[in-house]
Amino acid sequence: MIDVKHVKKSYGRKRVLKDISFTAEKGEITCLVGVNGSGKTTILNAIMNLTPIQEGNILIDGKQLTKETYERMTYIPDTITMLPSMKIQDAFAFMKEHYHAWNEKRATELLSFFKLEKEEKIQSLSKGNKAKVNMLLGLALDVDYILMDEPFSGIDIFSREQITDVFTSHLIADRGVIITTHEIQDIEHLIDQVVLLDEGVVVRQFYAENVREEEGKSIVDVMREVYRQ
């Protein structure tokens, strides 16, 4: 379980996260939803210790993050985290060298799933294919938790469909996923838990299925209620 407790963060005088608390369970897909500047990416960065927080606490399975945690939790930001000059096979070699959790078999499987070639240079790939390589590098790690920041941002509909297919495959099953997205419609049916953010606070946290069953509302309906108030 990823437990985010009363996290506060400011950039200078601007308070980006005012008091953020939520939990994301293993085996569930938790979606952070909010308009631009609501602090979604900052939360993911804070969970990965890629930006310091001023107050609060973040626990991964009840423990503070250590270097070993990066073998159990990975981050897929909205831009590729490999050198543009590398070929995909060089990126594979880098991952294999540095992560015990790297699963070469799964990486190769994903490569054909996304219809990519090992010899291709990252810098010569289209935006959609770069996003796929980025996702591949995260998904090919045998980790318990995956954090994804806007995986659908600015990519074509076919690439988006391919990435969406990943969520229904064995590649995600049993893992804990925290995802941020604007394009909620694409994955609405896949999401377990939703955390609605607004101006650095959690305005509502709910399980999509409960809301569907008990209130007959979709995630978008709830968002409309919350953000149009």
Strand partners, 180: 32, 149
Which tokens hold the place of 55?
Answer: 């107050």
What whole-number distance in Å separates Cα of residue 151 and Cα of residue 180?
8
- Please say whether the dihedral angle defined by the alpha carbons of residues 79, 81, 85 and 90, taken in this order, is positive or negative: negative
Shortest CB 177 distance to another protein, Å: 17
- Please say whether the dihedral angle defined by the alpha carbons of residues 16, 53, 195 and 206, taken in this order, is positive or negative: negative
Cβ-based nearer residue to another protein, 86 or 211: 86
Packing angle of the helix pair 157-168, 127-139 (nearest 10 deg): 10
Contact 121, 87 (CB under 8 A): yes
Contact 195, 22 (CB under 8 A): yes
Cβ-based nearer residue to another protein, 79 or 124: 79
Cβ-based nearer residue to another protein, 53 or 194: 53
Chain contacts with another protein (rule: CB under 8 A): 45, 48-52, 67-71, 74-75, 77, 79-84, 94, 97-101
Cβ-based nearer residue to another protein, 54 or 210: 54
Length of the chain: 229
Helix (H) or strand (E) holding 220: helix 219-227
Cβ-based nearer residue to another protein, 67 or 115: 67
Shortest CB 39 distance to another protein, Å: 14
Shortest CB 190 distance to another protein, Å: 25
Shortest CB 50 distance to another protein, Å: 4
